[in-house]
Amino acid sequence: MVHRTEPPDGGWGWMVVLSAFFQSALVFGVLRSFGVFFVEFVAAFEEQAARVSWIASIGIAVQQFGSPIGSALSTKLGPRPVVMTGGILAALGMLLASFATSLTHLYLSIGLLSGSGWALTFTPTLACLSRYFSQRRSLAMGLALTGVGISSFAFAPLFQWLLNNYAWRGALLLVSALSLHLVACGALLRPLSLTEDTAVGGPWAQITSLLCHGPFLRYTVALTLINTGYFIPYVHLVAHLQDLGWDPLPAAFLLSVAAISDLVGRVASGWLGDAVPGPVARLLMLWTTLTGVSLALFPVAQASTTLVVLAVAYGFTSGALTPVAFSVIPELVGTGRIYCGLGLVQMIESVGGLLGAPLSGKENRVADWAGHVMVSSWGKEPGWCMLIVPSSM
């Protein structure tokens, strides 16, 4: 373990950025592109869209709700063995899903098992990255999270091609093989010891202190409400476009268009977060507001050109809010408590990830979304921002 008095803002940290890049691609890139499987599961199991939506929602919720476990284990053992174990679980879940005979099987394999693997990979990796950077944290976070945009661009049409040629069972086997690369991502992580660590205590002491930290708790509630609407287009957009008469492949390609904008938004936001003076939280408020507006317009759009424009706008703004959202957390809790702080945020916001997609798909139509948007004021500490709560009409 390397000991430093403060984050080095570089060095091996760039290898951690590389690890986080591929890890975010193999977790959220897969989740974002999983809507391609949505129509196949509805047809294969003859189930309602709302029930099928629970597959991805359970996976997201387990990933987030189980994050404190990954954080606590990383505090004790270091992030490397924890992330490598998570990669094995994520791949195993997809492998077992390829033999599914019911939705319950998919809930347990993809939702619970792969979700548990994702819980052991995403949070510890981002927390490790946050400890390596201070002045360039937003940029490093933005570069790391571009893996989501690039993989979403590649995975959506790739998964559709796999479905067309190998059916959903064969496609899931290949997704399992992709997920196994998370083990290599974990091997790149090198624990970093900082002087601040001695003053924050163990995991339980850190959790106790964070539960009494007002600004941190308010910020967590805001992210939870954002999370309710964040993943909805990636779960339901393909089905929505098919309802409007689009063919499956062009519909899947529109996810790729959003992913390109997402990629640009993450890099631009990461650069602005470090370059623009003032609290990073104000940039987060801007991006979240624009995300809410674009999301609320999706249900009423009919023309192909309008849908493409909205996909570009949503991709850019939703991608831009992500690196600054994670960069705010170390500013609130300090780098010494970042493992537990990020783990708690992920756990609490799992409520939004669990409910968002099923609520929006209740009537089997994405056109039933309604984006209810509210912006509250910011004080000296970041605590509240755009609320995006979808409901059926």
Q: Is the pLDDT of residue 171 over 80?
A: yes
Q: Is the pLDDT of residue 365 over 70?
A: no
- Report the alpha-carbon distance of residue 4 to residue 378 in Å, rounded: 34
Mean pLDDT, residues 290-309: 86
- Would the CA dihedral through 270, 345, 350, 376 be positive or negative? negative
pLDDT value of residue 273: 80
Q: Which amino acid is at 374?
A: M
Point out the least confidently predicted range of 23-32, 103-112, 179-188, 366-375.
366-375
Choice between 340 and 248, residue whose per-residue pLDDT is larger: 340
Q: Is the pLDDT of residue 360 over 80?
A: no
Joined together, the tokens standing for residue 137 give 């944290």
Q: Is the pLDDT of residue 213 over 50?
A: yes
Point out the least confidently predicted range of 128-132, 152-156, 270-274.
152-156
Backbone angles phi, psi at 77, to 5 degrees: -105, -15
Architecture of the structural domain at 2-390: Up-down Bundle (1.20)
- Report the alpha-carbon distance of residue 222 to residue 324 in Å, rounded: 14
pLDDT value of residue 98: 94
Backbone angles phi, psi at 180, to 5 degrees: -65, -20
Joined together, the tokens standing for residue 200 give 């924050």
Choice between 240 and 173, residue whose per-residue pLDDT is larger: 173
Sequence ranges of the domains in the chain:
2-390
pLDDT value of residue 377: 30
pLDDT value of residue 389: 30
Mean pLDDT, residues 199-221: 82
């039933």: which residue's tokens?
A: 368
**Which residues, 6+ apart, have CB-to-CB distance to 77 below 8 Å?**
none
Mean pLDDT, residues 145-155: 80
Mean pLDDT, residues 227-241: 75
Point out the least confidently predicted range of 50-54, 84-88, 387-391.
387-391
pLDDT value of residue 62: 86
User: In 10 A of CB 281, how many CB atoms?
Assistant: 22
| CB-based contact 156:255 (threshold 8 Å) | yes
Position 301 confidence tier, pLDDT thresholds 50, 70, 90: confident
| CB-based contact 165:40 (threshold 8 Å) | no
Choice between 154 and 6, residue whose per-residue pLDDT is larger: 154
Highest average pLDDT, of 56-65, 160-169, 282-291, comes from: 160-169
* DSSP conformation class of 333: H
pLDDT value of residue 374: 32
Point out the least confidently predicted range of 2-16, 108-122, 324-338, 360-374.
360-374
Mean pLDDT, residues 59-81: 86
Query: Average pLDDT over the chain, rounded to whole?
Result: 81
Q: Is the pLDDT of residue 22 over 80?
A: yes
Joined together, the tokens standing for residue 34 give 């999983």
Does this model's pTM top 0.85? Answer: no
Q: Is 245 left (phi over 0), alpha (psi -120 to 50) or beta?
A: left
């609290």: which residue's tokens?
A: 279
Mean pLDDT, residues 261-268: 87
